[in-house]
Amino acid sequence: MDIRQLQQIDETTWKYGPTDSMHVPVILYAERALIESMDQKVLEQASNVAVLPGVVDAVYVMPDGHWGYGFPIGGVAAFDPDRDGVVSAGGVGFDISCGVRTLTTGLRLDDLEGRRERLADALFAHIPAGVGSRGQIRLDDEEMDAMLRGGAQWAVDMGWGEPADLAHIEERGRMEGARPDYISARAKERQRREMGTLGSGNHYLEVQVVDVVYETRIAERFGLHEGDVVVSIHSGSRGLGHQIGTEALAEMLLAAKAYGIQLPDRELACAPIASETGQRYLGAMRAAINCALANRQILTHLTREVFADQFPQARMELVYDVSHNTCKEEPHTVDGEQRRLYVHRKGATRAFAPGHPDIPSEYRDLGQPVLIGGTMGTASYVLAGCAGNERRSLSSACHGAGRAMSRRQATRQWKGSALIRELESEGVYVRSPSARGVAEEAPGAYKDVHAVVESAERAGLARKVARMRPVVCIKG
């Protein structure tokens, strides 16, 4: 990115605009090296978002920002329904409610000595992964609608989890306002056999060890200590979410034209929040959030089954589950006035500050856990939301390392089989149904996750609590 276009506010804050066509400025958070490495398309896309009706405050780009469909990945934007605000499927993404959950195990790294390979094999055998993967669960029409309304609560009621899990899931495991009747038969059919599956792309299940603790008091309350073994699961709403996004974009192109909305980019197709198209998308999207929450809950149950067999002493408790592809109605103060806004976070994580009522009670004085997924060979992080980040970023933070090159470029540079051998020599056992998929997700294809997290902390978005490195990775 050409930083000469930007006004540098401080070490990690950069501003662009607003130009004549933009309603609000673009604010980017990252240190200089990360800003310079971002593709120019990030600024172009964020500036286009700032043109849409009803956008307020600013369009924010997180330190892991990179080019996406319509909105940049790592983009945050809020729209006011009382000022002709819109909702855009491109501002949520195709993998609706893709997110991360992290569990403690009660195990220490020494407990895995000589058993990592066997654990990797057992997890890979028990948890379906890869493109079009199917699980043992098959939902009929009634069960499908119950899942889409109930989310993780439905999964727990069905026996896939524990009631205590729900307190540590965003929205307590169930998104209100879901409308399964707004979802097409095609979208539901795609999901019928995909519950309890990881999927492909950057989705994973990792066994990790906590190797650094930065904030001892917070880490202990989260149940994290150096040398602990934890499990992180990264997955989303699978085929259902993708189909909802695909269909909504086509409908929103027509709606935008009907409402006289001038789109700077067709990929920013949108509809007024209050319109029938807007409400139908929101109802379907909320149901997809429930699908993702239910899916991660079932994956947790399957993981617990493997650990119970391999390590009977394991006690797996949920730290937190948070999504990073959503649009949610939230109260925020803008220009001294509290408003109900529709906050799009695409490749960005909600990061409420200490004291927020939506944080689980036992974490409320600490800030919301923010789970940052890393890459197969580097590290993941647990952060906590910072005081003042509502003003800085609408209570948002980064979500991962962020891609530095396309999947096609990655497959030209790495071979999956060689990468698996290399990682195993470093103590990371990777299992995947696709060698090409492993190459696409090579650690070198991503930004430096340490630099991304450092920028997020220095910008006051979230603070570092603990770092984890992988020892087993089940890759879709």
Which positions are catalytic?
399
Query: How many angstroms separate the CA atoms of 172 and 36, rounded?
Result: 39
Helix (H) or strand (E) holding 20: none
Query: How many angstroms separate the CA atoms of 52 and 269, rounded?
Result: 10
Query: How many angstroms separate the CA atoms of 455 and 444, rounded?
Result: 19
User: DSSP per residue over 77-120, as a string?
Assistant: EEE-GGGT-EEEGGGT-SSTT-EEEEEEEEEEGGGGTTTHHHHH
Contacts 24+ apart (CB under 8 A), 413-421: 413/442, 413/444, 413/445, 414/439, 414/442, 414/444, 414/445, 415/439
Helix (H) or strand (E) holding 379: none
Residue 64, token pair as written in the block: 């892991």
Pairing of strands 429-431, 462-475: parallel
Query: Which residue shows structure tokens 């200590």?
Result: 225
Query: How many angstroms separate the CA atoms of 120 and 13, rounded?
Result: 41
Between vectors from CA 346 to CA 235 and to CA 447, what angle results, nearest 5°?
80
Classify each residue of 229-252 as buried b or exposed e, where b means 16 or more C-beta atoms within 10 Å of its C-beta.
Answer: bbbbbbbbbbbbbbbbbebbbebb
Q: How far is CA 173 from CA 107, 157, 289, 382, in A?
A: 26, 12, 9, 20
Query: How many angstroms separate the CA atoms of 380 and 208, rounded?
Result: 9
